[in-house]
């Protein structure tokens, strides 16, 4: 069994990006810019945004954070998005989700220019992904695919079982793995809550991607020997022995599953760090494609 170290891989990617941006600076050129828009004071969202801003600072991406009150109108938010669509200094726009209930997330996502859709959520980005065109891919699935590349994991003809059908992870990673491309070209099954006997499918997986948001749901008796396990889940469970009173676990019971796995991502330190690394990568990509 080999641990897939997402933290180390993400650090390597960030260093590679920093070197490219340092080169732009030395040549006297513009650098990529990312604006993050946070509505309200959701503590988890604030943590995510601050970590993204910190990553920008570390690798040399120009960043700006717009923090807006929770009672901002939908129209005002859409106008702000349009302002940054037209701002040549910012090549990526990220609106932190979730948004307050009175604002349509779909309208806001669709208002972002597809050229600046570094989150990969715009319907045009999703459509391009499905038909196999080069596009912005949502960051967590892109991070999973990058881990397959960096660890040289064979995927061609392998049975990939995705547990979860969210628009953020399950659907896009299924579409990535279907493509006739390197580190994809797989046979893909997508499972979800309607499956009567989930283990019937998970036991067939050569590569299991767990993204359902249920703490330690995948047990050792649900996988076969030699499986590659990608655990996307991040769940808090009570643990009085920990200083904060809880610990983070994935959707996979690591202690049970890891002895049967050939590769496995831990939680924390697996897929999570890759998400921000791929956001940075998408921002550089937007700059290289459309930047001034």
Q: What amino acid positions are annotated as catalytic residues?
A: 52, 96, 119
Q: Residue 23 and residue 28: Cα distance in Å, rounded? A: 9
Tokens 């809550």 -> residue: 193
DSSP state of 207: E
Q: How far is CA 103 from CA 47, 68, 97, in A?
A: 21, 13, 11
Q: Residue 117 and residue 269: Cα distance in Å, rounded? A: 26
Q: Residue 247 and residue 239: Cα distance in Å, rounded? A: 6
* 271 within 8 A of 142, measured Cβ to Cβ: no
Do the bridges between strand 62-68 and strand 33-39 make them parallel or antiparallel, or are there none, so unpaired? parallel
- Helix or strand holding residue 68 (H, E): strand 62-68
- Note the maximum CA span of the chain: 60
The string of DSSP letters for 223-283 reads S-TTEEEEE---EEEE-TTSTTSEEEE-SB-HHHHGGGEEEE--SSSSSHHHHHHHHHHHH
* 175 within 8 A of 140, measured Cβ to Cβ: no
Structure-token pair, residue 35: 């604006």
């Amino acid at each position: 069994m080999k641990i897939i170290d997402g933290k180390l891989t993400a650090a390597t990617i960030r260093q590679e990006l920093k070197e490219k941006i340092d080169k732009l600076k030395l040549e006297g050129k513009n650098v990529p810019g990312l604006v993050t828009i946070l509505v309200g004071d959701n503590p988890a969202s604030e943590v995510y945004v601050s970590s993204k801003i910190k990553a920008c600072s570390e690798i040399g991406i120009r960043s700006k954070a717009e923090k807006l009150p929770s009672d901002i109108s939908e129209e005002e938010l859409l106008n702000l998005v349009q302002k940054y669509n037209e701002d040549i200094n910012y090549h990526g726009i990220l609106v932190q989700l979730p948004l307050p209930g009175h604002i349509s997330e779909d309208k806001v996502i669709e208002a972002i220019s597809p050229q600046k859709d570094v989150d990969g959520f715009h319907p045009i980005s999703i459509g391009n992904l499905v038909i196999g065109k080069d596009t912005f891919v949502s960051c967590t699935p892109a991070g999973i695919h990058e881990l397959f590349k960096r660890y040289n994991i064979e995927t061609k003809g392998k049975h990939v079982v995705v547990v979860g059908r969210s628009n953020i992870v399950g659907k896009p990673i299924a579409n990535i793995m279907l493509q006739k491309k390197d580190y994809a070209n797989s046979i893909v099954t997508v499972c979800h809550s309607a499956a009567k006997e989930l283990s019937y499918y998970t036991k067939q997986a050569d590569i299991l991607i767990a993204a359902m948001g249920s703490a330690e749901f995948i047990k050792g008796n649900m996988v076969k020997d030699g499986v590659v396990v990608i655990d996307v889940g991040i769940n808090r469970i009570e643990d009085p022995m920990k200083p904060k009173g809880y610990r983070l676990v994935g959707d996979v019971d690591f202690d049970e599953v890891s002895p049967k796995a050939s590769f496995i991502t831990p939680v924390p330190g697996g897929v999570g760090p890759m998400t921000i690394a791929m956001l940075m990568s998408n921002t550089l990509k937007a700059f290289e494609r459309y930047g001034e």
